[in-house]
Amino acid sequence: MTDFEIDQLADSVLQLYRLNAPVDLARIAREEGIELVGGNFGADFHGRIEYLPDDGVFAVYHPENLGEIFPGRVRFTIAHEFGHYFIPEHRDMLLRDLVHDSAEDFRPDRQIEREADRFASALLIPAVVLRNKMGRKGFLSLKEIKAVGAECQTSLQAAAFRYTQFTSEPHLAIVSENRRILYYFVSEEANALGFGGLGNKTLPSDSPAVRALASDRNIICEGETNTEQWFSERYRRADLWDESINLGYNNRVLTLLSWQDYESESDG
């Protein structure tokens, strides 16, 4: 399925059950006859959906909440497994293979996992919420994205990546660990401008992102940067604004890069 089709599918589920943020995942499970099974399945467990042919039902296995940092991540795990249930090709696979174990959130190397991540983000953070928050200005700051995550009861990473998928502005959301870049999402406009892939594998020295690594959790570090510091050689250069925050575990930092003084073609 295309990204647009997956977004439309998630929106159809929200409309079917008349759900608003924060989305009631337990209600979706009840309405669809899905069993939710929480437990301690080990450190390497990220989520599983299984079809039980004898009972004719699906079961979603997920970690129990592990403290104040993790409830949003658990909700994302459940919504990700719902993606495997609702996306027709994934459901056919489950009916054939009976069980599917999911990979770590946001770091999949398989299309099926990327599609389920996309569905989960669109389900947990409805488009109407983002449109209302963005209003006429058309963009959100990291502080505002954090508020969206709190309203929708998702992790900050999920909110940032969903915003990056949704915005019409050039934008990147990056997660690093001990200065090493783990993964990132790029908006369609940034990709169209030729900035679809980072050149660096580590955070630029003296950047707000590096300051955030040494800062307390929830402290936003921000400042000016540019594409030369983050990307390999490009045919054009742009000034960027870096907003970064320590995620509070594993020395991970979330960084948002936005173009300064950006004007789309429609702006003239």
CATH code, domain with 190 = 3.30.450
Q: Report if residue 159 sits inside a domain.
A: no
Which of 90, 124, 158 is the endpoint of a domain? 124
Q: Report if residue 260 sits inside a domain.
A: yes
CA dihedral 5, 8, 10, 16 (to 10 degrees): -140
Q: What is the pLDDT of residues 153-207, one digit of tens each?
A: 999 999 999 999 999 999 999 999 999 999 999 999 999 998 988 888 999 998 9
Alpha carbons 163 and 127: distance in angstroms, whole number: 9
Do 227 and 119 lie in a common domain? no
Q: What pLDDT score does 265 carry? A: 46
CATH number of the domain bearing residue 64: 1.10.10
Q: Report if residue 164 sits inside a domain.
A: no
Helix or strand holding residue 48 (H, E): strand 48-52
Q: Report if residue 216 sits inside a domain.
A: yes
Do 7 and 117 lie in a common domain? yes
Q: What pLDDT score does 69 carry? A: 47
* Domain around 111: 3-124
Which of 124, 139, 156 is the endpoint of a domain? 124
CA dihedral 161, 179, 46, 157 (to 10 degrees): -20
Which of 124, 150, 178 is the endpoint of a domain? 124
pTM value surpassing 0.85: yes
Q: Report if residue 153 sits inside a domain.
A: no
Q: What pLDDT score does 105 carry? A: 59
Do 175 and 118 lie in a common domain? no
Do 94 and 193 lie in a common domain? no
Alpha carbons 64 and 42: distance in angstroms, whole number: 11
What is the number of domains present in the chain? 2
Do 182 and 236 lie in a common domain? yes
The three-state secondary structure class of 24 is coil
Do 7 and 118 lie in a common domain? yes
Do 13 and 116 lie in a common domain? yes
Q: Report if residue 148 sits inside a domain.
A: no
CA atoms within 13 A on the CB side of 215: 18
Residue ranges of the chain with pLDDT lower than 70? 42-44, 65-70, 103-109, 233-235, 262-268
CA angle 69, 73, 77 (to 5 degrees): 160
Q: Report if residue 204 sits inside a domain.
A: yes
Q: What is the DSSP string of 139-204?
A: ---HHHHHHHHHHHT--HHHHHHHHHHH-SS-EEEEEEETTEEEEEEE-HHHHHTT-SS-S-SBPP
**Sign of CA pseudo-dihedral 235, 239, 241, 244:** positive
Do 183 and 91 lie in a common domain? no
Q: What pLDDT score does 107 carry? A: 56
Do 13 and 70 lie in a common domain? yes
Q: What is the pLDDT of residues 84-98, one digit of tens each?
A: 999 999 999 999 988
Q: Report if residue 7 sits inside a domain.
A: yes
Q: Measuring CA to CA, which residue among 200, 214, 206, 133 is closest to residue 166?
A: 133
Do 118 and 207 lie in a common domain? no
Q: What pLDDT score does 244 carry? A: 98
Alpha carbons 239 and 180: distance in angstroms, whole number: 22
Do 173 and 62 lie in a common domain? no
